[in-house]
Structure 1
Amino acid sequence: MTGFRVLKGGILTLVQDTGRLGFQHLGVTRGGPLDARSAYWANRLLDNEPNAAVLEITAGGLEMEAQTQTMVAIAGGDLNLTINGEPQVPWRSFWVRQGDRLKFGTPRYGFRAYLAVSGGFLTEPVLGSRATVVRDRLGGVHGNGRPVQEDDYLPCKHLSEEGISRQIPQNYLPQLGKQITLHLLPGYQQQAFSKAAWKQVFQQEFTLSNDSNRMGARLTGEPIPVPDQEFLSEGVSYGAVQVPASGQPIIMLDDRQTLGGYPKLGNILPLDGFQLAQCAPGAKIRFKPIHLAEAQQQMRRYLRFFGL
């Protein structure tokens, strides 16, 4: 077997593919990369299938040694990747040989990097996916949802010949920053919130909390007035903006629970969720309304571009 030996697991490193579909009725969440666009770019640089498993590296610290020769690609945040001590530019593919050491430092910009390898990382699928969901104890290197750790072995294909290195054109690169605007599509419960509450949502600046994780991005700010009524629990979609009794919004992400009963303002545009995934705690966030037709157009363009 060929692959990479893990020397240090980093702060949080997870094997991710596009996730588990068709199991939410059993309480199993989808999982998948928080910044799916960067994961797809990393795979595209290597001509991989969009579903090929990649590593999601949060905030750096991962160190690996290649025990094969292959092409790898890096996209997303710049986590100061070096190979054998030599700095590497993100958003490109490159050749690694047996014995090469890959080391991710602290972020220069962005918060999560995605490392793809030719043919994808070949861990054992669980329920049809290699995606790691820690809460559900599914996927990952050993199939039990554990993050990548020291002495893990990440299997992949051996390439006999070096491929052509590629780089993503500058005009395709997303703008990663510490201040972002999320486009919000109001949902069917919008009438339950007062006009004053909606005015506050669109005028206020929120801060991304340290309590955020892959289940949800927690925002802090002046509390939003919560509707004085009970809501039935129902399925929770990606990007849903829940407002619990504290009045502090929670944006539901890839590892969210499958059911929830908090009132919801609506959903953010998924493309903005990828930007959110690149924000470290402390980032400043605002909301802006978007019409359904415009949101659909942007999503169709994105899905068509990546052949999804």
Structure 2
Amino acid sequence: MTLPVVFIDGDQGTTGLQIHQRLQGRTDLKLVTLPAEQRKNPVSRAAAINACDIAILCLPDDAARAAVASIENPNVRVIDASSAHRTDPDWVYGFAQMGAQQKQAIANATRITNPGCYPTGAIGLLRPLLVAGLVPKDYPITINAVSGYSGKGRAGVDEFEGPDAAQATPFQIYGLGLAHKHVPEIQQYSGLSERPVFIPAYGSFRQGIVLTVALQLRLLPAGVSGTTLHQCLEQHYAGSEFVEVLTMEQSGALTGLDPRVLNGTDKLRLMVFENAGHVLLAAVFDNLGKGAAGAAVQNLDLLIAGH
């Protein structure tokens, strides 16, 4: 049996390094990266991507588009970890737990766009509830999320771990123009008919995300409660290897949410809190795990198993 050749383009960034670490030592594939002197050589990169079976792109958006444009070999399959193709209808969205048919769609695809880190939590919480009709598609959704500074990429790591780390802002809300690039992705794949408000932030910790969505029961269909919403999520993710839904009792016992609690894993943890007509949906996960590298490896495994 010929081992599939997997080429990581951009293996020195935060996501690329994590993917490389996860794949090192595996015996079911042949891992290829470019030496340092060839990483920015378009000829070398084009040759490598056309010679592989599966390319994983860990590049800025424009560079990812250029890499895809350089593909002439029709047998090359691509997993793009950038946001360049996230809402492109010709690309399959790489969130396998999103729906019953998504895992098979990924396995059969030639072009897969890896979900963004924040959208993984937002879509993971919202999509099952919207599909079930428990949350109206035009609900005025506001999403608050805090990520570790590695979400900024190498620039964030340098800012908080470099020589000027003492001057780094310990907590910063950003995206104040209310036009974060993840918003169209969240709206499209959650099923919202209206653009959600998304308020992201960075904290002074390396990895991890906590993301919350507040709902008012008076704006939901009659009879919907926190328990109803929880049951829907529990049923949707039943048996999932990578997504866990805490029981209402487990969530109720919590007094705080640590964004780092699942660091080093590829898990997504969902929770539902309810009190006095208000519901809080919450997600915790590693922005470099299920939010990036872990998701890419999950998609890679589906591609390998499907061929």
Asked whether the two chains share a fold, i.e. TM above 0.5, the reply is: no
Structure 2 length-normalised TM: 0.26
Structure having the higher strand fraction is: 1
Structure having the higher helix fraction is: 2
